[in-house]
């Protein structure tokens, strides 16, 4: 099965030449890259969040296998949907799905279902792929689209992912795709996102869910981020660092109603 690009030409350039040029501009040169267990990366159009994502990906060593976790914006398909075996197509070419990791994820992760419907139009996973394949052309991936869930379900999914990666036996980067506060003033976004990022830096996924709920923080990928934190902790991570933060107002010049973007590494 081949996952066709749904937002090429919208969220990012639709031609190989233009996409390579844009990624070259967005990703700074960096020869001191850290090996990490997971990251939180934004997923807006590159004009808005691409510089934040570029700085993030430039700071890490990308292994040859990546697991992308993204939110289900449309509510279509399974609540925890694994893209089936096959490949993902972008203007840079195809990226193979890692069939071995997919098999282990289905074996170990509760609630997980092989389902392409949730992925068909979902941009949150797709926009990560060009950054990854630009920097690591030999990469293979697995991709999970997640709905919202309570902490118990998120804990079980994170533990299952950690078990699958352990059984896989090789390095796997977990990419949690998320934007932060949506459509509030830049000042409000900075305050609210600071609370969410405080929980992330404290490696406290339960508090992350609670504070997003109690403070009405519209972090769309809170479930993927919390799952990543659970899995990364089990796999040996002990620190989280904010690499970059920006809002859409930095691109538009209008701070009245913005979306926040954070880049976080976990090692």
pLDDT by 10s per residue, the chain, length 267: 999 999 999 999 999 999 999 999 999 998 899 999 999 999 999 999 999 999 999 999 999 999 999 999 999 999 999 999 999 999 999 999 999 999 999 999 999 999 999 999 999 999 999 999 999 999 999 999 999 889 999 999 999 999 999 999 999 999 999 999 999 999 999 999 999 999 999 999 999 999 999 999 999 999 999 999 999 999 999 999 999 999 999 999 999 999 999 999 999
DSSP assignment letter at 253: S
Neighbours of 1 (CB within 10 A): 12
pLDDT at 16: 98
Q: What pairing do the DSSP bridges indicate for beta strands 258-266 and 93-96?
A: unpaired
Provide the edge-to-edge strand list for the sheet that holds 2-3: 2-3, 87-90, 93-96
Predicted pLDDT at 31: 85
Boundaries of every domain in the chain: 2-266
What's the confidence (pLDDT) of residue 215?
98
| CATH number corresponding to 2-266 | 3.40.830.10
């Amino acid at each position: 099965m081949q996952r066709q690009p749904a937002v090429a030409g919208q969220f990012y350039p639709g031609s190989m030449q233009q996409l390579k040029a844009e990624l070259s501009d967005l990703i700074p040169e960096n020869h001191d890259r850290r090996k990490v267990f997971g990251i939180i990366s934004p997923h807006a159009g590159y004009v808005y969040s691409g510089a934040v994502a570029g700085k993030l990906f430039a700071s890490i060593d990308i292994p040859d296998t990546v697991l992308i976790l993204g939110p289900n914006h449309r509510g279509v398909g399974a609540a925890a949907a694994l893209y089936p075996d096959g490949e993902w197509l972008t203007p840079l070419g195809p990226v193979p799905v890692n069939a071995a990791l997919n098999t282990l994820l289905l074996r170990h992760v509760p609630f997980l279902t092989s389902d392409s419907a949730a992925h068909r139009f979902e941009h949150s996973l797709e926009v990560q792929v060009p950054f990854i394949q630009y920097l690591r052309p030999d990469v293979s991936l697995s991709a999970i689209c997640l709905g919202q869930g309570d902490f118990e379900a998120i804990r079980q999914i994170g533990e299952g992912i950690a078990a699958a990666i352990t059984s896989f036996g090789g390095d796997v980067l977990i990419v949690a795709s998320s934007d932060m506060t949506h459509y509030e003033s830049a000042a409000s976004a900075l305050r609210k996102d600071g609370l969410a990022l405080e929980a992330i830096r404290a490696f406290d996924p339960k508090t992350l869910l609670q504070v997003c709920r109690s403070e009405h923080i519209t972090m769309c990928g809170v479930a993927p981020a919390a799952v990543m934190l659970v899995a990364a902790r089990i796999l040996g991570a002990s620190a989280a660092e904010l690499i970059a933060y920006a809002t859409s107002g930095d691109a538009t010049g209008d701070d009245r109603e913005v979306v926040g973007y954070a880049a976080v590494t976990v090692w």
